[in-house]
Amino acid sequence: MSYQCILTEVNQGVGIITLNRPEAMNALNATLCREVGEAVDRFEADEAIGCIIITGGSQVFAAGADIKEMKDQSFTDLHRKDFPRVQRDCWRAIEDARKPVIAAVAGFALGGGCEMTMACDFIIAADTAKFGQPEISIGTMPGAGGTQRLTKAIGKAKAMEMCLTGRMMDAEEAERAGLVARIVPADTLAEQALRTASKIASMSQPAVMLIKESVNMAVSCSLDDGMRFERRAFEATFAFEDCSEGMNAFAEKRKPVFKNR
Ligand code: CO8
């Protein structure tokens, strides 16, 4: 499959999507968003793939929505199209994926770029990463989760300050604030992200999917509801042949051979 604004590859059971508009700092135009959505859906449907990485490569993740594409749009244009609907479909594909989606971020992840990383399940950041919601500086505001996901991830004070001033966070501050799972040296980002993703892809996929669903419940429901979901999901894993294989392998001091990976 060939795309205009992204590159895709499969390596060690991992589907890798690389945003590829270097001339525009990977700005998220409609084509790029549509292609990311399609690629995520394609990897989601591919049984040989157990985890997905979205990256912008070694220099920049994405400097936000494509301002040049947006600048002449009127309210009526946006409202009629339910903007960012194309973008929303892309976000939905990421959010609805049952396979884990990792954002591997180097350089700027700004505006819609930051929002795309937050739609992923977790972020591995290069030490060069910079996160921000600078929309205020161009007279607008975040439109794909910047005021919502950022606030849930790092709390009201920091999210409010960042969205109101456009201040960027470097990788260290983002890790301290809980936005980022882990920081790695920039020149090892691709390798470390692949190592993490291929480890997840080597696990029992039904268990991976239930864990992802259960952790996500913690973000969207009460503790009681989440605990109940977790208990039922835990019990359900005992119906998986991989669960029996995993436990028997432990007792027999050997590596498990999961069938559903
Ligand atoms: N859109 C379009 N082109 C861009 C963008 C962008 N967001 N960012 C950079 N570019 C282009 C520049 O125009 C320039 O192109 P050219 O060489 O043709 O002039 C090229 O990329 C390189 O950029 P700079 O020369 O500006 O590079 P610098 O290193 O000097 O600066 C910055 C890098 C700081 C990242 C700077 O480019 C910048 O401030 N970019 C805009 C950041 C921004 O405001 N982002 C928010 C956009 S609004 C948004 O994301 C709303 C989201 C709503 C939801 C929609 C989801 C898709």
pLDDT for res 85: 60
Average pLDDT, integer, range 25-43: 96
**CA 25 to ligand 1 centroid distance, Å:** 6
| Pairwise CA distance, residues 105 & 116, whole Å | 11
ipTM: 0.98
Share of the chain above pLDDT 70, in %: 98
186 lines ligand 1 (CB under 6 A): no
Q: What is the pLDDT of residues 174-186, one digit of tens each?
A: 999 999 999 999 9
Q: What is the pLDDT of residues 228-258, one digit of tens each?
A: 999 999 999 999 999 999 999 999 999 999 9
Q: What is the pLDDT of residues 69-84, one digit of tens each?
A: 999 999 998 888 877 6
Specify the residue with its C-alpha closest to ligand 1, atom 42: 63
| Pairwise CA distance, residues 64 & 145, whole Å | 13
Query: How far is residue 141 from each of residues 76, 77, 132, 138, 145, measured CA to CA in Å?
Result: 17, 17, 12, 8, 10
| Pairwise CA distance, residues 92 & 173, whole Å | 28
pLDDT for res 1: 77
**CA 63 to ligand 1 centroid distance, Å:** 5
Q: What is the pLDDT of residues 101-137, one digit of tens each?
A: 999 999 999 999 999 999 999 999 999 999 999 999 9
Question: In the structure, what pLDDT confidence band is assigned to residue 88 with cuts at 50, 70 and 90?
Answer: confident
Listed residue (88, 104, 111) closest to 30, CA to CA? 88
Q: What are the backbone angles phi and psi of residue 52, rounded to the nearest 5°? A: -125, 140
Strand order in the sheet with 101-105: 6-11, 14-19, 51-55, 101-105, 122-126, 182-184
Q: pTM here?
A: 0.96
* Residue type at 169 in one-letter notation: M
For a mutational test of ligand 1's pocket, the pick from 67, 118, 135, 148, i.e. the residue with the most ligand atoms closer than 8 A to its C-beta, is 67
Average pLDDT, integer, range 34-40: 95
